[in-house]
Structure 1
Amino acid sequence: MSIRNFTQQIISELMHNSQYIEDAELDEIIKSIRQAKHIFLAGAGRSGIGVQGFANRLMHLGFDISLVGEISSPHTKAGDLLIIASGSGETGSLVALATKAKAAKVNLAVITMDRTSTIARQADTVVMLPGVSPKLKHQGVDITSIQPMGSAFEQLCFLVYDAIVLALMDELGETSATMFERHADLE
């Protein structure tokens, strides 16, 4: 099969998987983002790379954000928000972060494939996106993928992050031009 055909199959999978997106869950995460004093974001592996892109766009929207583990990340306070991207919801380091955040009275949101995962059970807000992964214990929906491991989930995350940004732009009256004023100039 050609690369173009593989690409079209991936896009078809993502279109199919997007039907499982719950607007109410996304409305909740938007509400949490808007109410947060400071937003921390975390993820591991490819999910972590995607959440870094989301953090960047939230900063462009004017939110105070930090990536967990960065040297400039401040101390948490009650009323802050931690957003964790974890397909399985069971990654040890992220489970530990979730537990620590909850003990510090930080609101917790998770983007995951498993509503019953350890992180999801601690979360105030759960966004379930479908995907396939050998690490997944409790499949949320019955789907398949031609792609390896968690790729379908990770790709859908990135698209959903951008959709959240578009919704926030509408709510906040932001445009690409106003956001660009916050874009890095020391690159």
Structure 2
Amino acid sequence: MEPCKNLAAILEELTFDAGLVSQEEVERVEGLILEARRVFVAGAGRSGFVARAFSNRLMHLGLDVHFVGDPTTPSIREGDLLIVGSGSGTTKGMVNDVKIAKREGAKIATVTISPEATIGSMADAHITIPGSSSRSGKRTVEKAPSIQPNGSSFEQLTWLVYDAMVVDLKRALDQSQDQMDYRHANME
């Protein structure tokens, strides 16, 4: 069997880029999650798919979590946290959500390529992901070369960062796998 060359190249890229993600930034966002009364998660497009999966895992951990845009999502208030995944940090709908959350007194965290962009400048904490975004035109200088379309490595590494956070949060919340499994969907 010949290994898939593209898969190996993508994994090599993600391994390099993972070494550029700050543990301190990750821990700051985890701290905000643990302090929040409720957690709201937002993202658009492919970043939204990744954010939705993260909100699902937070629910498995027993947190009161809502994905922005779902019809059952309540209004955000003081004591809540909004986590926004946006590579460019300028996605109009996400910028609007951040403004509303700030006005209501909620904390903001973002996972982004561009922490200096609009969303990052309003955030209480951020996690910088090496990458490039078609929307912003920005490319992280240290980022590994990519064979993928713009944005793909951002979304992939964001998924992995979210999963790494779940590992820490599981420990911090003293959640067993049985407890998480109990909260897993039983109507699909």
**TM bucket by the smaller chain?**
over 0.9
Deviation at 1:174, TM superposition (A): 1.5
Matches of residues 80-91 of structure 1 in structure 2 within 5 Å? 80-91=80-91
Deviation at 1:3, TM superposition (A): 7.6
**1:12 corresponds to which residue?**
12
* Residues 1-187 of structure 1 aligned to structure 2 (within 5 Å): 4-143=4-143, 144-187=145-188
TM-score normalised by the chain length of structure 1 = 0.95
Q: What number of residue pairs does the alignment pair up?
A: 186
Deviation at 1:115, TM superposition (A): 1.6
Cα displacement (A) at 1:137? 4.3
Contact 1:113 1:136 in 2 (8 A): no
**Deviations, residues 28-75 of structure 1 (Å, cap 9, x unaligned):** 111000010111110000000000000000000000011111111112
SS in 2 for 1:181: helix
State the alpha-carbon separation in 2 of the partners of residues 105 and 3 from structure 1.
51
Distance in 1 between the 2:141 and 2:19 partners?
11
d(CA) in 2 for partners of 1:11 and 1:149? 16
How far apart, CA to CA, are the structure 1 residues paired with 2:49 and 2:3? 23
CA separation of 1:3 and 1:150: change in aligned 2, threshold 3 A? farther
Give the whole-Å Cα distance in 1 for the aligned partners of 2:139 and 2:149. Answer: 16
Q: Which amino acid aligns with 2:173?
A: L
Identity %: 39
CA RMSD of aligned residues (A): 1.3
The CA distance in 1 between the partners of 2:26 and 2:69, in whole Å, is 26
TM-score, normalised by the number of residues in structure 2: 0.95
Gaps of 5+ in 1: none
Alpha-carbon distance in structure 2 between the residues aligned to 1:117 and 1:163 = 25
Question: Which residue identity lines up with residue 152 of structure 2 in the other structure?
Answer: S
SS at match of 1:95: helix
Q: Which moved more, 1:168-177 or 1:70-79?
A: 168-177
Return 5+ residue gaps in structure 2 as ranges.
none
Question: Could you tell me how far apart the structure 1 residues matched to 2:141 and 2:51 are?
Answer: 23
For residues 166 and 60 of structure 1, what CA distance do their matches in structure 2 show? 12
